[in-house]
Structure 1
Amino acid sequence: MPSTTAPQKTAAARREQRRVVAATTIGTAIEWYDYFLYAAAAGLVFNQLMFSPLGTGGATIVAFLTVGLSFLFRPFGAFLAGHFGDRYGRRVVLMVTLFAMGGATALIGLLPTYETVGILAPILLILLRIIQGISAGGEWGGAVLLAVEHAPDNKRGLFGSGPQVGVPAGLLLSSGILALMNVIAPGDAFLEWGWRVPFLLSIVLVFIGYFIRMGVDESPVFAQIAQRKGTTANPVKTLFGKYTPLVITAALLFAGQNTVGYMTTGGYIQNYATNPEGLAMERGPVLLAVTFSAATWMFFTLLAGWVSDHIGRRNTYLIGYIALGIGAAALFPLVNTGSLAILYVALILLTVGLGLTYGQQAATYAELFPASIRFSGVSITYAIGSIVGGAFAPSIAAALVEATGTTTSVTIYLLTMVTVGLIAAVLLRDRTGIPLGPDHEEIQSKGHFTFGQNRTEKISAK
């Protein structure tokens, strides 16, 4: 009996691990489909249908501001999700965020336009975008912790890259469906009704995500904490009371990547390339180029997770930020040629650095914070990094071009943020393989930086 029981348990554990990775990847892809769909529509649709009285330039800037506005509510969602996730589990939070995001997205597809109801239309749009922001603030932390805390110690980067892949997958799905609707409803039909279909499709995707996530077990780390009744009464207070410098540094580690990523996920390149007063490229081919680049971003994200298990999270970040700097420097000089083929080259080159600074992030963040406050630490840090980085990146880019008349200023802005992310990567110690369970909170709570105390301490999973 013992000789067959052990292999059976091992096989069952592996099946559960595969289910978790699949569920978190697919669920995250659905959530970010909703989020990125809005960002793309902001520069292609909402600037014309919701903010038209502001004029072409003003409407575009305000439309992108509504993209950034939701980021201001991400910390609120992260605080809520972190508090309840550290006290009641990762799984229940993921269910709530899934329905909140999907419901808000579907309602956006039913909104009247400014021409129909006046200022009520943009007000309702902004309210629904805020709900999306609150939901996004809690989604990512729960998804990555389920994946990483289920993973074998030597495969956390690979397992954690699953929900990370869900982000470019959401971009691929949203851009792909918008491109398809551009074919089905070309020209004015796209503005009249075609743009609504991808938003309404979110209802179907939410139920798919729900049934997938229903079959996933709670994180084993949280199960141990709950069994021992070791949950923290106020995890957010503990987080900021003890780990504020770590939160800030880790947020900046993400901010550099997020700023550059939001040139496409925030809809800026789509708007810039198709602007009739600028490059005037066709909407459909540009959307297809973004869709294709999302596929290459997925590949390099997965690669980064796998590589980080072998050379460490920190080394992967250093390589990734160098690649990202090259991609950011080349982006606008290539896009400004107005060539569709070179647009593909620019976006694909950008995805190399985007992936290599993103795939390892789930494992990196999970290994930074003690088990009892990990959900709060991961979610809030990610939310702050999103605000500093991607939140207003499209608006800043649009304002810089409006003020200077050139994209050189945008390139300088992107390279500045890449440098910030690179510095943060240099400052943070590599904690690859650190034990994640509640029995090891002492080692989890110290030795985060490459300077100061514990700088020579070796982190071991043993």
Structure 2
Amino acid sequence: MSNPAQDEHTPGRTAPPSSDRRRVAFATVVGTTVEWYDFFVYASAAGLVFGKLFFSGLGANSTLVSFATVGVSFLFRPLGAFLAGHFGDKYGRRVVLVLTLILMGAATTLIGVLPTFGQIGVLAPVLLILLRVLQGVSAGGEWGGAVLMAVEHAPSKRRGLFGASPQIGVPLGLLLASGVLALTSLLVPGQAFLDWGWRIPFLLSVVLILVGHYVRRRVEESPVFREIAERREQTRTPIVQLFRKHAVLVLVAALVFAGNNAVGYMTTGGYIQNYATNPKGPIGLDRGPVLWAVTASAATWLISTWAAGVVSDRIGRRRTYVLGWIAQLAGVAVLFPLVDTGNIVLLALGLIILSVGLGFTYGQQAAFYAELFPASIRFSGVSISYAIGAILGGAFAPTIATALVDATGTSVSVAVYLAGMTVIGLIATLLLRDRSGIPLGPDHEAEQAVSPLRFSK
């Protein structure tokens, strides 16, 4: 008679109880929410205030350079991914998650107390960029550990659902960041917001980091890594092995995420916030209503992200992605025509429509990535693919969008750029086989090592 608690990944081992799985899911949601709250508060502030406060010496180019600092952090995500992948595959997922959370929170809090350009001159933007670099290193290491903790604890038929837990933390982080900024803007309006009110969301990170640290310290290590450690089968050079055997797979997986990330950073990167509120731009809406519209879109993104994880358990990761790319393309097509009306309700509608496609090209990503790579190098594989995809996709999407509008005088050019990135994501998805339900434990390393690329033998 079979044991219902038997782990389907690794014969002979006992699966974590459902209560432990729920605790892990909750911990990944809380921790990832805190991480991305920090990350998105910066991106939103870059579009709203940093150009005036830290880059005012650059005149007309201040906003463009402010957006570029959002992208600078992405250049350091691979460093975070390399470090986290190396230590995560050697020493475990949990320790990396705790360290990245502390690093992100410390950097965010310090931004909240930085003097501005008007107070200390050029040193202000230099320090701001250095702290943004630390945020990038942290974000590069965070995601891989969070998704593996969730997916490797999950039953094989519910990996999409459990893997959506850390994914939900991203729209939750945007929801929290936009909501806090909107509330702060309401309570501290006008010039006071520029003078000191913007600092409040950054300083709140201290409280959030304590909550996230407490929750994450209470979860058990991934059962897959525990077994690898017990067998003393940790790979000594996981990154070398990854690129020696799976370099093309890393690039294709990165392009899948790039297609989602470029479009997502229209809001998470602060571009729409700046585009819609710029008094010299074509719309000139008030800051508060735009932030509330972004908050509503983040709530939609959260729901669609969760739904994508559930759907992917039923119809497969690849089919869910294809549906998502089609929905995202439709969202890109209607976004700027609705935003350019200058009507806040239609702007919110455009963002909400876009968020449905964003969720359906994101919710299943954790399970999809985890099923692509062998157990011994999985942390390195998912982290580095994610970090490279972030550079190719969202790193400079707000900067590119700003430059396109400046060069062409129309938002149509931005829509064409986003549609192109969506098509790239679709093509990359079609190049990969669906491996939903493949065993994840070290007993099945040989099966996992078979390339999921459709053009490979």
Instruction: Please tell me whether the aligned partners of residues 92 and 221 of structure 2 are also in contact (alpha carbons under 8 angstroms).
Output: yes
Is 1:306 matched with 2:330? Answer: no
Structure 2: tracts of 5 or more residues without a match: 7-12
Give the corresponding residue for 1:93: 96
How do 1:16-415 residues align onto structure 2 when only pairs under 5 Å count? 16-56=20-60, 58-278=61-281, 279-415=283-419
Q: Distance in 1 between matches of 2:253 and 2:217?
A: 31
Is 1:416 matched with 2:423? Answer: no
* Secondary structure at 1:125 match in 2: helix
Greater shift in the superposed pair: 400-409 or 72-81: 400-409
Q: Structure 1: which 4+ aligned runs deviate by more than 6 Å?
A: 3-6, 9-12
Q: 1:450 to 1:125 in 2, by over 3 A?
A: same
Q: Distance in 1 between matches of 2:442 and 2:244?
A: 19
Q: Distance in 2 between matches of 1:4 and 1:412?
A: 51
Instruction: Please tell me whether the aligned partners of residues 5 and 15 of structure 2 are also in contact (alpha carbons under 8 angstroms).
Output: no
- One-letter code aligned to 1:28: T
Instruction: Please tell me whether the aligned partners of residues 5 and 17 of structure 2 are also in contact (alpha carbons under 8 angstroms).
Output: no
Superposed CA deviations along residues 156-209 of structure 1, whole A, max 9, x for unmatched, are: 000000000000000000000000000110000100111000000001100000
Q: Distance in 2 between matches of 1:441 and 1:384?
A: 25
Q: Distance in 2 between matches of 1:133 and 1:320?
A: 27
Question: Shift of residue 400 of structure 1?
Answer: 0.7
Give the corresponding residue for 1:457: none
- One-letter code aligned to 2:280: E
Question: Shift of residue 344 of structure 1?
Answer: 1.1
Question: Shift of residue 12 of structure 1?
Answer: 6.9
Instruction: Please tell me whether the aligned partners of residues 31 and 216 of structure 2 are also in contact (alpha carbons under 8 angstroms).
Output: yes
Question: Shift of residue 451 of structure 1?
Answer: 2.8
Q: Distance in 2 between matches of 1:5 and 1:326?
A: 43
Task: Work out the number of aligned pairs and report it.
Answer: 449
Question: Shift of residue 5 of structure 1?
Answer: 11
Instruction: Please tell me whether the aligned partners of residues 16 and 153 of structure 2 are also in contact (alpha carbons under 8 angstroms).
Output: no
Q: Distance in 1 between matches of 2:190 and 2:262?
A: 31
Question: Shift of residue 11 of structure 1?
Answer: 10
- One-letter code aligned to 1:161: A
Report % sequence identity.
64
Question: Shift of residue 10 of structure 1?
Answer: 8.9
Give the corresponding residue for 1:449: 453
Q: Distance in 2 between matches of 1:184 and 1:410?
A: 34
TM-score (norm 2): 0.96
- One-letter code aligned to 1:123: V
Q: 1:219 to 1:11 in 2, by over 3 A?
A: closer
Q: Distance in 2 between matches of 1:61 and 1:11?
A: 51
Q: Distance in 2 between matches of 1:19 and 1:293?
A: 27
* Secondary structure at 1:334 match in 2: helix
Question: Shift of residue 405 of structure 1?
Answer: 0.9
Q: Distance in 2 between matches of 1:195 and 1:37?
A: 10
Superposed CA deviations along residues 251-293 of structure 1, whole A, max 9, x for unmatched, are: 0000000000000000000000000011110100000000011
- One-letter code aligned to 1:448: P
- One-letter code aligned to 2:115: P
Q: Distance in 1 between matches of 2:105 and 2:453?
A: 39
Q: Distance in 1 between matches of 2:257 and 2:4?
A: 45
Superposed CA deviations along residues 342-391 of structure 1, whole A, max 9, x for unmatched, are: 01110000011000000000000000000000000000000000000000
Question: Shift of residue 4 of structure 1?
Answer: 13
Q: Distance in 1 between matches of 2:368 and 2:380?
A: 15
Q: Distance in 1 between matches of 2:123 and 2:39?
A: 22
* Secondary structure at 2:285 match in 1: coil
Q: Alpha carbon RMSD of aligned pairs, Å?
A: 1.6
* Secondary structure at 1:391 match in 2: coil
Give the corresponding residue for 1:456: none
- One-letter code aligned to 2:62: A
TM-score (norm 1): 0.95
- One-letter code aligned to 1:78: A
Q: Distance in 2 between matches of 1:151 and 1:353?
A: 25
Greater shift in the superposed pair: 30-39 or 324-333: 324-333
* Secondary structure at 2:266 match in 1: coil
Is 1:437 matched with 2:441? Answer: yes
Question: Shift of residue 329 of structure 1?
Answer: 1.4
Question: Shift of residue 450 of structure 1?
Answer: 2.2
- One-letter code aligned to 1:257: N
Instruction: Please tell me whether the aligned partners of residues 85 and 381 of structure 2 are also in contact (alpha carbons under 8 angstroms).
Output: yes
Structure 1: tracts of 5 or more residues without a match: 454-462
Question: Shift of residue 447 of structure 1?
Answer: 3.7
Q: Distance in 1 between matches of 2:354 and 2:255?
A: 19
* Secondary structure at 2:453 match in 1: coil
Q: Distance in 1 between matches of 2:98 and 2:356?
A: 32
Q: 1:4 to 1:233 in 2, by over 3 A?
A: closer
